[in-house]
Amino acid sequence: MDCIAARETADIRSLLSCGLACQKAGRHPDAVLCYESVLYLDPRHFDALHMLGVVAIQNRQYERAWDLISGAVQKNARVGAAHRNLALVNLRLGRVSEAASSYQTAIALEPEALDAHIHLASVLIDLNRPEEALTACEQAIRRHPDSAVAYLVTAIALRSLQRATEALMSCDRAIALRPHSAEAWDKRAAALQDLNRLDEAIESCETAMTLRPDFAPAYAHAGLMYLQRGDFFRGWNLSEWRNRPGSVVAAPTYSQPRWRGEDDIVGQTLLVYCEQGLGDTIQFCRYASGLKALGIDVVLLAPSTLHGLLKGLRPTVQIIDERDQLPRFDRHCPLLSIPHALGTTAATIPATIPYLFAEPDRVRRWQTKLCGDDLKIGICWHGSSIPAAVGRSVPLAMFHHISLVPGVRLISLQKGPGSEQLGQLPQGMTVEDLGADFDAGPDSFLDTAAVMQCVDLIITIDTSIAHLAGALGRPTWVMLKEVPDWRWMLKREDSPWYPRHRLFRQQKSGDWQGVFIRILHSVENTIHTLRS
């Protein structure tokens, strides 16, 4: 028996060595055969399970990889590499919280593993846990003070905490370590943009472009800053880099040619696909109906949750989602590339409103529920929790003084995160909650659109609510941080995209109190005018 066991051990070692060699050479089927042969001899062999899982990751078989690596961890939970690979699989499967736990376990086992600290910090940023991410970065820097990547991720965490000056310092530390890093210069540009130093930010992007002429994020980032400054020609051109390899927005591929505005496609069918958030779709869907009015047959590929709202587009366009079979089409174009294709300037933005419409029956139902003579103000105070939306939320309690103005009635338009604040109002403050059934179905914004038609004014943070109100042509006041998203531009109190919008900007970073003082005075003036 001892001789047989010894021979099997030798076979396992040989098979594992052969599997690793095949895997390194890219001969994955042969590697799988070797590892599976090991499992035939020892069904719970840690290395065989783990390496089969790694091969599955390399072949994008993430469910299989999870099963295999989880089995390996059950056999031996003391190997940090297995937990790091399990974290990677969890990320690929969209299990972000589980990925964070796996990285934390890997760090406990291998405290010096720089990549585990860095990946944990990145995951925590995605989970909107920037304080914890910053702690992970600090631990990485203590162990690896010469890591430029650690300083860059630190800068991202600091920006999420709205600590732009420190983020800039962290970027400068990274550049001192790796002066030729295009990514470091691009991250530096983002910190400078937060500080409203746009000239320097654009210069940093240009340095990144010089260092890496194919580095798409720097071009796209510079494009947004030019748009923010009102330079639409350069802005739209550079923003087209957002779909290049290595940038953040993946573009689908089709056999038909992409339309870039270079030729006349009247009479042809154009597939237009939404590529970013709901607010972007609401803002730019005007272009789809605009092209239809020019004689182009438009098919709009949009999230299914928006179909109920988008069917109100005038002129109407065909709307499909990713589950539908694509109809025949001649050209395709991302929705946010149409302004570039048409050469849109600030003066030629198609700003005829409304271009979306609430359902009449739904409006009548809400008119009955919201009847009364007070000034009805729909409010939204909490934006998205994604890192890009940092600074686009305010505490609901900041509306307290507005709620006390005689003749004012505050009505919540908030859904999801932030709604819990309705149960934590200061004494004497009243905000009407429209109930659990408000926009509770599969369609987004149908009740919201109807309620907007029933209120006199909308006051909102920079979120999709601001775009919906604008598309409906409702009077809207938008609260903006000092350096807002590009579409609100700089210093203006109006918006070329939405003629009935009024913009209330922070005078200095983080100063929402000043914004609310100005809004309170404007509400009081509105009430006074109505009573005059």
CATH number for 489: 3.40.50.2000
Q: Do 32 and 8 share a structural domain?
A: yes
Residue 355, in any domain of the structure: no
259 CB-near residues (< 8 Å, 6+ apart): 265, 270, 331, 332, 333, 341
Q: Do 167 and 189 share a structural domain?
A: no
pLDDT at 515 over 80: yes
Residue 260, in any domain of the structure: no
Q: Do 427 and 524 share a structural domain?
A: yes
pLDDT at 3 over 60: no
pLDDT at 10: 60
pLDDT at 456 over 80: yes
Q: What CATH number is attached to the domain comprising 218?
A: 1.25.40.10
pLDDT at 532: 62
Q: Do 511 and 404 share a structural domain?
A: yes
Q: Do 314 and 230 share a structural domain?
A: no
pLDDT at 250: 73
pLDDT tens digits along 386-401: 776 788 999 999 999 9
Residue 257, in any domain of the structure: no
Output the six-digit token pair for 308: 């109920």
In 3D, which of 372, 292, 349 has the Cα closest to residue 499? 349
pLDDT tens digits along 174-190: 999 999 999 999 999 99
Q: Do 201 and 187 share a structural domain?
A: yes
Residue 349, in any domain of the structure: no
Over residues 75-96, the mean pLDDT reads: 95
Which among 43-52, 237-246, 496-505 has the top mean pLDDT? 496-505
pLDDT at 528 over 90: no
Q: Do 189 and 306 share a structural domain?
A: no
The neighbour count for residue 33, using CB atoms within 10 Å, is: 14
Q: Do 245 and 111 share a structural domain?
A: no
pLDDT at 1: 35
Q: Do 193 and 149 share a structural domain?
A: no
pLDDT at 276: 80
Domain closes at, from 281, 309, 342: 342
Confidence band of 102 (pLDDT split at 50, 70, 90): very high
pLDDT at 389: 72
Instruction: Please tell me the distance from the alpha carbon of residue 257 to that of residue 306, in angstroms, as a whole number.
Output: 27
Instruction: Please tell me the distance from the alpha carbon of residue 77 to that of residue 398, in angstroms, as a whole number.
Output: 49
Q: Do 206 and 160 share a structural domain?
A: no
Tell me how far apart the terminal alpha carbons of the chain are, to the nearest angstrom: 103
Domain closes at, from 197, 220, 250: 250
- What count of Cα atoms within 13 Å lies in the side-chain half-sphere of residue 55? 25
pLDDT tens digits along 366-387: 999 999 889 999 999 998 877 7
Output the six-digit token pair for 373: 């003579």
Q: Do 304 and 226 share a structural domain?
A: no
pLDDT at 510 over 70: yes
Residue 476, in any domain of the structure: yes
**Residue range of the domain that includes 200:** 179-250
Residue 353, in any domain of the structure: no
SS (H, E, C) 316-343: CCEEECCCCCCCCCCEEEEHHHHHHHHC
Its pTM stands at 0.89
pLDDT at 278: 92
pLDDT at 527: 86
Residue 203, in any domain of the structure: yes
**Higher-scoring residue by pLDDT: 179, 527:** 179
Domain closes at, from 154, 173, 192: 173
Confidence band of 144 (pLDDT split at 50, 70, 90): very high
If one counts the domains in the chain, the total is 4
Over residues 478-505, the mean pLDDT reads: 96
**Higher-scoring residue by pLDDT: 472, 9:** 472
Q: Do 516 and 435 share a structural domain?
A: yes
Residue 259, in any domain of the structure: no
Confidence band of 479 (pLDDT split at 50, 70, 90): very high
